[in-house]
Amino acid sequence: MGVVVCSWTRFLSCYNPSLSPSSSSSSSSSKSKSNLLFSSKINLRFMSQQQQHHNLLTPIMCVNSDDVDSSSLVLNYHHIDQKILQNMLYDSLVWSSLHGLVVADKSVQSSGSVPGVGLVHAPISLLPTPFPESHWRQASELAPIFNELVDRVSLDGKFLQESLSRTKKVDKFTSRLLDIHSKMLEINKKEDIRLGLHRSDYMLDEQTKSLLQVELNTISSSFAGLGSLVSELHRSILSHYGKSVGLNSENVPANSAASQFAEALAKAWTEANLPRAVMLFVVQAEERNMYDQHILSVALRERHGITTIRKTLAEVDQEGELLPDGTLLVDGQRIAVIYFRAGYTPADYPSESEWRARLLMEQSSAVKCPSISYHLVGSKKIQQELAKPNVLERFLDNKDDIADLRKCFAGLWSLDDSDIVRKAIERPELFVMKPQREGGGNNIYGDAVRETLQNLQKAGSQEDAAYILMQKLFPKTSASILVRNGSLHKENAISELGVYGTYLRNKDRVILNNESGYLMRTKVSSSDEGGVAAGFAVLDSVYLT
């Protein structure tokens, strides 16, 4: 969710045309760490071994300022000895295979439906990406505030319906979701137990020197399982190779996302108070990322004694039954909690069968993660509506919390703002055009922004309501090593930090509201899109500086 308090003037003033998107300029910081023999534009590759043992062990540190702290350092992994890289690669692949850091190999038939068939290691970064600890803490502290915001907004059905009313006219997918939501309002359906497994995604913008939010995911916030494993992998590799490459494994923060997600799901199951009921995972028919989901299923069974079943939307339609008291049965089994890992994209609803299943589940008394209202809060249009003046104050009371949120808001605008549309046509490189979709591969960039906007203007229809405009972010480029299909690829890359949040409420009682681990995704800097499952990025972890 990237919502805005900055005006167009402020946004444009943040952008320095003399800096390319990949340029790196250091932030002004304290001198407490600037006594580490740094001088302007030095390259520490040539430091002696004796110097390196003074906390300066590093592959390369490129420093571009006379006054820097460690958060300004750029670790250049491309200059690590090739033999060391190959050894690290081999050990990383072994570790991944033994610990389940795997996905289904799409080239192998039935690998996306039959566990254990056609496994391949998940796309990963060989080494963790440097990230300033101050911004890391900022993102972590925001998670509980965003959790609360989602819950508050979800309760305002009128706000959701009115905010999405124009979008409904031109976006069939959003329209169908709104229809379900409207039916729940008509029958006054209350969700006393509300469970949210969220992920707020950020980039460290080089132009503004700020941590800015890309979006907030409220449905199928994936990779809690595999993301936790990548952090373990990097800590393991650095415990062995750290001295050789100048990195300390303790700078990779532990990642408890998988265990915290499982705990939140288990607590929701307990609150449902149906001891013999099972938990339903709603999944896609062919799911290459099934092992990320199975990590949670195994934790629920082994740590919490909860049985899970996996069903597609079509299977729920075929096997589901709603009892008069609201109990949902699927294949004869009572469902206590429904966890959606599908249902966030139009492709998940190829027929009316899938829509019947979604309505059936929403009408039930089972705990839903997410409910239809939580799902709608994550839509791009709602994010843009929250950008408007005084809207956050409608949902949150704490002024400090509101101020903290707005520090991370990027520019976000509706296409009915003619001034912003004109600016986007003039400078399309400064904007991203986003439809109401989740998952990678949907956004519009560069000259395509201008072309799309001009075509919408010529058409003179309301189709523009299907999109919003967002300020394009320009994160620092780093020299990274990406691993796909067992091979190393030295790339200039950019990264996106996601921080998970878990939220559970039963009526007026808040049971959980926590920051719950993280996900780092890294992609080639020339790629605009960033989804791992969509094939654009790799899984990574954080190296705190």
What is the C-alpha separation between 126 and 486, in angstroms, rounded?
11
- Which residue ranges make up the annotated binding site for substrate? 199, 219-222, 287-289, 293, 341-344, 521, 532-533
Give the three-state DSSP class for 232.
helix
CA distance linking residue 91 with residue 126, whole number of Å: 10
C-alpha 435/C-alpha 100 separation (Å) is 34
Please provide residue 190's backbone torsions phi and psi, each rounded to the nearest 5 degrees: -105, 135
Indicate the annotated binding residues for Mg(2+). Answer: 215, 217, 438
Cα 66 to Cα 85: distance, rounded to the nearest angstrom: 31
424 and 469 Cβ atoms separated by less than 8 Å: yes
Residues 452 and 545: beta-carbon distance below 8 Å: no
DSSP state letter for 460: T
Could you tell me the two tokens for 436?
């109401």
> 468 φ, ψ to 5°?
-130, 160
> What region, left, alpha or beta, does residue 236 occupy, with left being phi > 0 and alpha being psi -120 to 50 degrees?
alpha
What residues are designated binding site for ATP? 215, 380, 434-443, 445, 496, 523, 529
Contact 121, 97 (CB under 8 A): yes
CB count within 10 Å of CB 146 equals 24
> Is residue 36 packed enough to be buried (19+ CB in 10 Å), middle (13-18) or exposed (0-12)?
middle
Contacts of 78 (CB under 8 A, 6+ apart): 60, 479, 481, 490
Q: Report how far residue 428's alpha carbon sits from residue 449's, in angstroms, rounded to the nearest whole number.
A: 6
Closest CA relative to residue 175, chosen from 190, 188, 156, 161: 161
- The secondary structure of residue 475, as a DSSP letter, is B
CA dihedral 142, 522, 539, 241 (to 10 degrees): -110
Residue listed under structure tokens 């972010």: 473
Residue list, annotated binding site:
199, 215, 217, 219-222, 287-289, 293, 341-344, 380, 434-443, 445, 496, 521, 523, 529, 532-533
Query: 337-356 b/e with 16+ CB inside 10 Å = b?
Result: bbbbbbbbeeebbeeeebbb
CB atoms within 10 A of CB 7: 10
Q: Which residues are catalytic?
A: 199, 215, 217, 222, 380, 434, 438-439, 521
